Amino acid sequence: MRIERVVERLEKPVWCVEYRDRIIEQPAQPPDPADAAAIVLASPRACRTVLEGLADAAAAGALNRSEHNATVRAATRLLGALQAARLLT
């Protein structure tokens, strides 16, 4: 959010000067992918939310194979690492 001070200039004699503050809302910039990954990996809840969202999208058939090919490879790698570490029952 940014606040700008607006001052109106008048060419005639002025009895008082009025200042108005105008609030300008700026949309938040999306985080850098590396920053977003750091946020997700630092929070088990955020990580779980992302994984559940991907699982729901896959179950609904909403994942485009060509767009999410790298994501599927990463998920396969994660599954293999979990199995190797004996973290899956």
Residue tagged 């609030």 (tokens): 23
Q: Is residue 8 part of a domain?
A: no
pLDDT on residue 27: 82
- Specify whether the CB–CB gap between 68 and 75 falls below 8 A: no
Number of domains in the chain: 1
The pLDDT of residue 8: 64
In a domain, 22, yes or no: no
> Residue 21: its pLDDT value, please?
74
Whether 60 is in a domain gets the answer yes
Kindly give the parts of the chain with pLDDT less than 70: 1-18
- Distance from C-alpha of 13 to C-alpha of 40, rounded to nearest angstrom: 60
Residue 13 lies in a domain: no
pTM reported for the whole predicted model: 0.57
The pLDDT value given to residue 49: 93
Asked, for residue 51, whether it belongs to a domain, the answer is yes
Q: Please give the residue range of the domain that contains residue 71.
A: 33-84
Residue 37 lies in a domain: yes
